[in-house]
Structure 1
Amino acid sequence: MTIDRFTVDEPALPAAPGAAGWAHFRAATAVRNAVEADAYGTDELGLTAEELLPYWLDQDYAPARMFVARVGGDIVARGVYETRPEASAAVAWLSVEVLPAFRRRGIGTALADRLEAIAAEEGRVRALVYAASRQAPGERLPSPTGFGSVPLANPEVRFLLARGYTLEQVERGSRLPLPVDEGDLARQLERAAAAAGPDYAVHRWTDRTPERWREDMALLRTRMTTDAPSAGLEEPEDVWTVQRLAQEEEAFAAGPRTALTAVAEHLPSGRLAGFTELSVPAESGRAVHQEDTLVLREHRGRRLGMLLKIANLRGLAAERPGHPSVITFNAEENRHMLDVNEAVGFVPIGYEGAWKR
C-alpha cells in the first residue's frame, strides 16, 4: 500500500531475538520509544525489543498485530491492533505512533484507517485508544469523570475528536526518584501494617508465582480488569487461568526483565487480598516500571495498597539497588492510589487520555 511517498505493511514478528524480522521489530520498538520520550519528556518509559518481544509472542491470550509505515525504507511509524481471543469480544485497542519529524503527512491517518477497518471487519463495536497529551496552554477538554483534562488544541486530541472518539478518562504518569529514604519507608510501612491489623500478612517473590498462590493470582489479575477504575471505557473482563498465568510468567522470565511481586494474604481465609508488581530491567541505570497494583474491593480501607507498595520498594532497594526511578500510571479519579503514590514520593511527569469510539 503506497500513499504519498510512504508505504504501510505488516511485518512478520520474529520468533526470537535475532530471528527473521528482528531488524523490523527493533526499528518499530525504536519508534515506540521515541514517541513516548517526546510525549513525556523522558526516555525512562523506553523498553528494548528484547523486553517487548515476549508480550508480542503471547498470541494465545492477547492477540496483536503490528503495522509499520516506511519512508525511504525506514520505519517512521507503527500502528498496533490488540484484541482478546474470544471471537465474540466486542473491543479492539488501537495505537498509532508517528515520529515527530514525519507527522502531518497522512501517515497517522493511513494507519488509523487500517486499524479501524480491521476492527470493523472483525465486528469489534468499540475501539479504545490511549494517547499521551503533552501539557499546553489554552482551552482544555475535561474528562467526564470530573478528574483531569487534556489540551483541546493538541494534535492528538483534534485527530481523535475528528475521527469520532470521545474522551472517557485521563491517566497520570508519575515518577518516584530512587533511592527513597529507608527511615521514611520503614515508618510508612509500620503505619500501614498497624492499619491493616493482624489479619493480613505480606509475602514476596521474584518472577514465577509459587504454586500455592497461582489460583489466587489468576483471580487477582482477572479482577484487575473489573475492579480498577475504567470510567466509561467499558473495558471487558479479561479472564486469567492458572495455565495462562504460568505460560505468561515463563515467557516473561525468559526475557531480560525481572518481576518483583508483593501480595497480602488474608490470614482468616488463607486467600490473597491484593498484589503489586515491579518490572525491573537488567541494567541498573534504567527506570523500574510499576505494573499492576490491586486490592480486592472487599478488603479495601485497610491501607493494604500502601503496605504492599512499601514492602516491594524495600525489596527492590535490598535486592536490586541502583535504579534511578520507578515509573507508574494511574487513573486521575483513583485518588486512593494517587494518595499512596504521593505519600511515597511520586510526582507527575505527564498525562494521557483514554478514548472510546
Structure 2
Amino acid sequence: MVLQSGSVGITIMGKTADLTVVQKTIIDTLHKEGKPQKVIAKEVGCSQSAVSKHINKKLCGREKCGRKRCTSSRDDRSLERIVRKRPFKSVGDFHKEWTEAGVSASRATTHRRILDMGFKCRIPLVKPLLNNKQRQKRLTWAKEKQTWSVAQWSKVLFSDESNFCISFGTQGPRVWSKNGEAHTAARRLKSSGKFPQSVLIWGAMSSAGVGPLCFIKSRVNAAVYQEILEHFMLPSTDELYGDPDFIFQQDLAPAHTAKSTKTWFNDRGITVLDWPANSPDLNPIENLWGIAKRKMRDMRPNNAEELKAAIEASWSSITPQQCHRLIASMPHCNEAVIAAKGAQTKY
C-alpha cells in the first residue's frame, strides 16, 4: 500500500481505491472550473481513469455479483397486485397464486419480494364501517367545524365508554400493507362491533386534563347514563372548568340520544355538541384510552379489583399536557376528514 504525497488518494497494488466523498467533491468543483482531467487527478491524488469515470458517472465501485434475479419487474408487479387484492392472505397463499400465474420462484423469494415492495405484516386497525350517508354527514360536520380554533375546542368536554379486559387474548389475523396505507383502503380495515362483552368504563377529558372514571356494572340504558352524568360528568366540569361555560360531547349511542336524556340536558342548560355517527376517530379521548391500555401492557390483573386498580393508576398518570396536545390536534383532524371526503382517518 502506497500513500501518495500531498493527496488523499490511496493506491492499492496499482489500482485506485473507491473515491471518498471529499475527493468526489473536489473533482466536481475543479471540473466545473474547466480544469482538465489530468490536472484534477494530480490535484486530488488519484488516477486520471478514476476522474474520468466519476465525471462520466461510471464510477460505481464493486460490480454486482451473485445469482441472476429469477423474476422480472413484470412478475413483481403481478405479485404486488395479488398482495393488494387479498392483504389478509399468508405468504404461502401469495406464493401459490403467484406460481400458478406462471412465475418460477421459491416461497422465500416470494416473501423477500413482498418485503422489498415495502409491505409489512401488521395487526389490522379496527375501524367502524361507514356507509355513504355516514361519510357525507362526517364531511358536512368537518366543514362546519373547519373554522373552530383550539380555544373553541378547549371548551368541549369529550366523553366516551371503553372496554378493558382482564385477558389480553389473541389479536386476530394480520394484514399486509405499506407505510401510510393502513387507513386508506377499506379492505385493510377490520370491522369492529359496537357492544363487545367486557368491562365497561365511562370517562371524560378536556384540554385541562381528565375527569374521574366510572366503572359500569350494568347495561347502559338512559336511566343509568343519566346517573353517570349526574355523579361523574357534572363533578368533572366543576374540576376541569370551574364555570358552566362548556360544551359536552357524546356519541350517538341509544342511551345518549334518548328523549329523557335530552330532557336532562335541557333542564340543566347544558349544550351538547352535534356528533356524526360511527366517528370514534374524531374523539380525542379515544387516544387516551389507547395510552391507558398501552401502560397496562405489562400488567396481568387476576381479578376485577386488580383490573380496576390498574386502570385507575394508568388513567391518573395521564397529564394535562397530553390532553391539551390531543385537543390542539382537532383542527388537523377536521382537515383529515375533509381530505378523506368523510372516510376513515388516521386519528
Bigger-Rg structure (1/2)? 2
TM-score (norm: length of structure 1): 0.24
TM-score (norm: length of structure 2): 0.24
Higher strand share: 1
